[in-house]
Structure formats: structure tokens, C-alpha cells
């Protein structure tokens, strides 16, 4: 059997090859990553009035009637001679609250002379 003195472990001849492979592979991997990052396909942002898939939002918004006026997140309605102001509260999970209002406030809200903020201030809603 032939033994070389000072030859080192069996994997010693492969160390320079492994170092060369790592030195060549690292810049190549970085280049591939940069190309993929800068030339990736950009997502298309939805247009106004569309959801994230590009489909239009439904246009079935509730319509105001003679007995009810519907605003964004609030409404006033007449029910059995009484008038109610309904709104979504700012509580956690936002529940629907309803308070009784006067007939004149109902008519003003229906005609657009008074809005959500004014009704909230006047009736001290929380």
C-alpha cells in the first residue's frame, strides 16, 4: 500500500475546486435574483369602480323611498308616525344604532339640508 506523508484527508484535493465553484456561483445567483426582481411581472392595479380581480362593483345601491332616505352608512325613516335616525356606530365591530328624531329633522335630511354630522351633533350620538 502506498501512503503519502502529509497528503491530508481524502477531500483535500477537492477544496480548491469547491472554492472556485462557490466564487463563480455566488455572483451568478445574485445576477439571477436581480434579473427576476427587476423584470418580474408587475400586478395590475384595479381601476376605480373595480375590485381586485377587475370586475366592476355591483350597482345595486338601495334607493330612497317616500318613507326613508338612505345615506352612506346612515338613514332616516318614518315608521308609524315616528321618525328614526339609524347609523352604524364607531364601536368595535360597528353595530347599527337607531334613535328617534323630530319630523322637521326627518324632512330636512330627506331634502338634503341636514346631514349625518349635523344629526349626530344635534342628538349627541356616540
What digits encode the pLDDT tens for the residues 48-106?
777 777 777 776 667 788 899 988 889 999 999 999 999 988 888 888 899 999 999 99
| CB contact at 8 A, 56 and 75 | no
Question: Residue ranges of the domains in the chain?
Answer: 68-122
pTM of the entire structure? 0.52
Sheet containing 96-101, strands listed edge to edge, beginning at the edge strand earlier in sequence: 68-70, 74-79, 82-88, 96-101
| CB contact at 8 A, 76 and 113 | no
Distance CA 80, CA 29 (A): 75
Amino acid at each position: 500500500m502506498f501512503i503519502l506523508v502529509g497528503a491530508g484527508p481524502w477531500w483535500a484535493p477537492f477544496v480548491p475546486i469547491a472554492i472556485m465553484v462557490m466564487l463563480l456561483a455566488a455572483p451568478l445567483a445574485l445576477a439571477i435574483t436581480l434579473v427576476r426582481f427587476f423584470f418580474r411581472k408587475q400586478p395590475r392595479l384595479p381601476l376605480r369602480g373595480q375590485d381586485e380581480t377587475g370586475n366592476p362593483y355591483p350597482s345595486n345601491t338601495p334607493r330612497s323611498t317616500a318613507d326613508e332616505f338612505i345615506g352612506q352608512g346612515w338613514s332616516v325613516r318614518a315608521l308609524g308616525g315616528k321618525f328614526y335616525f339609524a347609523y352604524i356606530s364607531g364601536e368595535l365591530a360597528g353595530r347599527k344604532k337607531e334613535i328617534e328624531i323630530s319630523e322637521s329633522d326627518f324632512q330636512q335630511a330627506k331634502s338634503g339640508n341636514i346631514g349625518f354630522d349635523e344629526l349626530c351633533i344635534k342628538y349627541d350620538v356616540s
